[in-house]
Amino acid sequence: MKRPSFMHGVGIAFLLSFFGAALFAALGPFLGSVLLLRTLIPLLGLAYVLYLLGRSGARTGRVMTIAFWVLAAGVTWFMAPPLAVYLMIHVALVWLIRSLYFYDSFTPALMDLGLSTMSIAAATWAATRSGSIFLAIWCLFLVQALFCIIPRSIEPAKAQSTRWDDDDAFHRAQRNAEAALRRISAHN
């Protein structure tokens, strides 16, 4: 399956914002806003992680990834850090999962970490300026949707110039071995 596009991300951002704001409005009178946010953050995070796993194309490790997410969210729930730290932990979990499933090297993952940091800043800005939970969730996931423009891998210029040298038997053998390893790992 191909990577999500920005428009997919915009659609997911709208859906998560709509349902998050609706749940907040419906359950707000019954639960305190802090408890409701501590429930809403992992629910929206899990929905986003399920979306990412569905679009990643990877067939292995999904159950372990979801189990890891649930365990980490549960530990975070019981640790009860301040709300800002709680949000950062959940965004970091999304970043980690996205880095594992969508990037081949460290540099794009680091770029995604910067994007995740900007998404928290945008959500905080929207929440403080408007007081709207819809706009806060929208800004968070709208900035997250920009991950689709980060390349899967960034190779150094030297590696790119020699990698596709068809006259070199060693590089041809190396490409064949890498392709065989990818096929073997895809079947496991």
Query: What is each CA distance from 15 to 19, 51, 148, 175, in whole angstroms?
Result: 6, 12, 18, 42
How far is it, in rounded angstroms, from Cα 43 to Cα 143? 19
Q: Which residues have C-beta within 8 Å of that of residue 85, sequence separation ≥ 6?
A: none
Domain ranges of the chain: 6-154, 157-188
Residue 164: phi and psi, rounded to 5, are -105, 25
Please count the other Cβ atoms lying within 10 Å of the Cβ belonging to residue 137: 25
The pTM is what? 0.77
> Mean pLDDT per segment of 10 residues, for the chain of length 188 residues?
81 93 86 85 93 85 90 93 93 93 90 94 93 92 92 67 57 79 72
Q: Which residues have C-beta within 8 Å of that of residue 94, sequence separation ≥ 6?
A: 45, 48, 49, 52, 116, 144
How far is it, in rounded angstroms, from Cα 40 to Cα 161? 48
